[in-house]
Structure 1
Amino acid sequence: MATTPNVIRLPARPAVLQSVRRAINARATSIHASEAIRTRAVNTAMAQLHDGASTGWAIQSGLRVLRGLPQVPR
Protein backbone atom coordinates (compact mmCIF):
# COMPACT_ATOMS: atom_id res chain seq x y z
CA MET A 1 0.00 0.00 0.00
CA ALA A 2 1.66 3.18 -1.15
CA THR A 3 1.14 6.20 1.01
CA THR A 4 2.26 9.76 0.55
CA PRO A 5 4.39 11.36 3.26
CA ASN A 6 1.54 13.60 4.45
CA VAL A 7 -0.89 10.72 5.07
CA ILE A 8 -1.14 9.66 8.70
CA ARG A 9 -2.02 6.01 9.31
CA LEU A 10 -4.20 5.62 12.36
CA PRO A 11 -3.72 2.53 14.53
CA ALA A 12 -6.28 -0.23 14.15
CA ARG A 13 -9.27 0.05 16.43
CA PRO A 14 -9.44 -2.39 19.37
CA ALA A 15 -12.51 -4.08 17.85
CA VAL A 16 -10.55 -4.82 14.67
CA LEU A 17 -7.63 -6.25 16.64
CA GLN A 18 -10.01 -8.42 18.64
CA SER A 19 -11.82 -9.73 15.54
CA VAL A 20 -8.53 -10.64 13.85
CA ARG A 21 -7.32 -12.38 17.01
CA ARG A 22 -10.61 -14.28 17.31
CA ALA A 23 -10.59 -15.40 13.68
CA ILE A 24 -7.06 -16.79 13.92
CA ASN A 25 -7.63 -18.42 17.31
CA ALA A 26 -10.82 -20.10 16.07
CA ARG A 27 -8.95 -21.63 13.13
CA ALA A 28 -6.01 -22.59 15.34
CA THR A 29 -8.37 -24.38 17.72
CA SER A 30 -10.07 -26.27 14.91
CA ILE A 31 -6.75 -27.60 13.56
CA HIS A 32 -5.28 -28.22 17.05
CA ALA A 33 -2.31 -25.89 16.51
CA SER A 34 0.27 -25.60 19.25
CA GLU A 35 0.34 -22.50 21.44
CA ALA A 36 3.63 -21.41 19.87
CA ILE A 37 2.26 -21.55 16.33
CA ARG A 38 -0.97 -19.86 17.43
CA THR A 39 1.00 -17.02 19.04
CA ARG A 40 3.20 -16.61 15.97
CA ALA A 41 0.12 -16.47 13.72
CA VAL A 42 -1.55 -13.80 15.85
CA ASN A 43 1.67 -11.79 16.07
CA THR A 44 2.09 -11.95 12.29
CA ALA A 45 -1.44 -10.66 11.77
CA MET A 46 -0.96 -7.87 14.30
CA ALA A 47 2.28 -6.84 12.59
CA GLN A 48 0.45 -6.72 9.26
CA LEU A 49 -2.22 -4.46 10.75
CA HIS A 50 0.46 -2.25 12.28
CA ASP A 51 2.06 -1.92 8.84
CA GLY A 52 -1.23 -0.73 7.36
CA ALA A 53 -2.63 -3.91 5.87
CA SER A 54 -6.36 -4.49 5.57
CA THR A 55 -8.14 -6.69 8.09
CA GLY A 56 -8.61 -9.44 5.50
CA TRP A 57 -4.96 -9.40 4.49
CA ALA A 58 -3.87 -9.59 8.13
CA ILE A 59 -6.13 -12.60 8.78
CA GLN A 60 -4.87 -14.34 5.66
CA SER A 61 -1.27 -13.77 6.74
CA GLY A 62 -2.00 -15.31 10.14
CA LEU A 63 -3.72 -18.29 8.54
CA ARG A 64 -0.73 -18.84 6.27
CA VAL A 65 1.43 -19.17 9.39
CA LEU A 66 -1.00 -21.75 10.80
CA ARG A 67 -0.77 -23.75 7.58
CA GLY A 68 3.01 -23.50 7.47
CA LEU A 69 3.05 -21.59 4.20
CA PRO A 70 5.52 -18.83 3.34
CA GLN A 71 4.42 -15.21 3.67
CA VAL A 72 3.48 -13.24 0.56
CA PRO A 73 4.94 -9.74 0.44
CA ARG A 74 2.45 -6.88 0.18
Structure 2
Amino acid sequence: MTPERLEECLTIMRWSPETLAEALGCDVSLVEAWLTEEAEIPPKTAAWIDTVAQFMETADGMKPKGLKGKRFSAQ
Protein backbone atom coordinates (compact mmCIF):
# COMPACT_ATOMS: atom_id res chain seq x y z
CA MET A 1 0.00 0.00 0.00
CA THR A 2 1.33 3.40 -0.93
CA PRO A 3 1.09 6.42 1.35
CA GLU A 4 -1.34 7.92 -1.17
CA ARG A 5 -3.61 4.87 -0.92
CA LEU A 6 -3.38 4.97 2.87
CA GLU A 7 -4.43 8.64 2.81
CA GLU A 8 -7.31 7.76 0.45
CA CYS A 9 -8.43 4.95 2.77
CA LEU A 10 -8.35 7.27 5.78
CA THR A 11 -10.51 9.76 3.88
CA ILE A 12 -13.01 7.06 2.88
CA MET A 13 -13.12 5.78 6.46
CA ARG A 14 -13.33 9.32 7.89
CA TRP A 15 -10.48 8.40 10.24
CA SER A 16 -7.52 10.44 11.36
CA PRO A 17 -4.07 8.88 11.75
CA GLU A 18 -4.77 8.91 15.49
CA THR A 19 -7.96 6.89 15.02
CA LEU A 20 -6.14 4.33 12.88
CA ALA A 21 -3.37 4.04 15.44
CA GLU A 22 -5.94 3.51 18.19
CA ALA A 23 -7.73 0.83 16.13
CA LEU A 24 -4.44 -0.97 15.49
CA GLY A 25 -3.13 -0.53 19.03
CA CYS A 26 0.04 1.20 17.87
CA ASP A 27 1.51 4.64 18.39
CA VAL A 28 0.45 7.37 15.97
CA SER A 29 4.12 7.91 15.08
CA LEU A 30 4.04 4.59 13.21
CA VAL A 31 1.02 5.65 11.13
CA GLU A 32 2.71 8.98 10.41
CA ALA A 33 5.84 7.09 9.29
CA TRP A 34 3.70 5.09 6.87
CA LEU A 35 2.20 8.30 5.49
CA THR A 36 5.63 9.82 4.89
CA GLU A 37 7.22 6.62 3.52
CA GLU A 38 9.65 6.43 6.44
CA ALA A 39 8.30 2.94 7.19
CA GLU A 40 6.66 0.28 5.06
CA ILE A 41 3.10 -0.76 5.85
CA PRO A 42 3.04 -4.49 6.65
CA PRO A 43 1.05 -6.44 4.01
CA LYS A 44 -1.53 -7.82 6.47
CA THR A 45 -2.08 -4.34 7.90
CA ALA A 46 -2.47 -2.86 4.42
CA ALA A 47 -4.99 -5.57 3.52
CA TRP A 48 -6.97 -4.88 6.69
CA ILE A 49 -7.02 -1.12 6.09
CA ASP A 50 -8.08 -1.62 2.47
CA THR A 51 -10.86 -4.02 3.52
CA VAL A 52 -12.20 -1.58 6.12
CA ALA A 53 -12.13 1.25 3.56
CA GLN A 54 -13.98 -0.88 0.98
CA PHE A 55 -16.58 -1.81 3.58
CA MET A 56 -17.07 1.83 4.58
CA GLU A 57 -17.37 2.88 0.94
CA THR A 58 -20.05 0.23 0.32
CA ALA A 59 -21.89 1.06 3.53
CA ASP A 60 -21.82 4.77 2.71
CA GLY A 61 -23.63 4.04 -0.55
CA MET A 62 -26.40 2.31 1.42
CA LYS A 63 -26.84 5.16 3.91
CA PRO A 64 -30.46 6.40 4.26
CA LYS A 65 -30.90 9.65 2.36
CA GLY A 66 -34.02 11.05 4.08
CA LEU A 67 -32.36 12.00 7.37
CA LYS A 68 -30.24 14.92 6.25
CA GLY A 69 -31.02 18.01 8.32
CA LYS A 70 -33.63 16.25 10.47
CA ARG A 71 -33.80 16.95 14.19
CA PHE A 72 -35.56 15.36 17.09
CA SER A 73 -38.34 17.43 18.57
CA ALA A 74 -40.15 16.30 21.69
CA GLN A 75 -43.83 17.10 21.53
Q: Under TM normalisation by the shorter chain, which class is it? A: 0.3 to 0.5
TM-score between both structures, scaled by the size of structure 2: 0.33
Q: TM-score if structure 1 supplies the norm length? A: 0.33
Structure number with greater Rg is 2
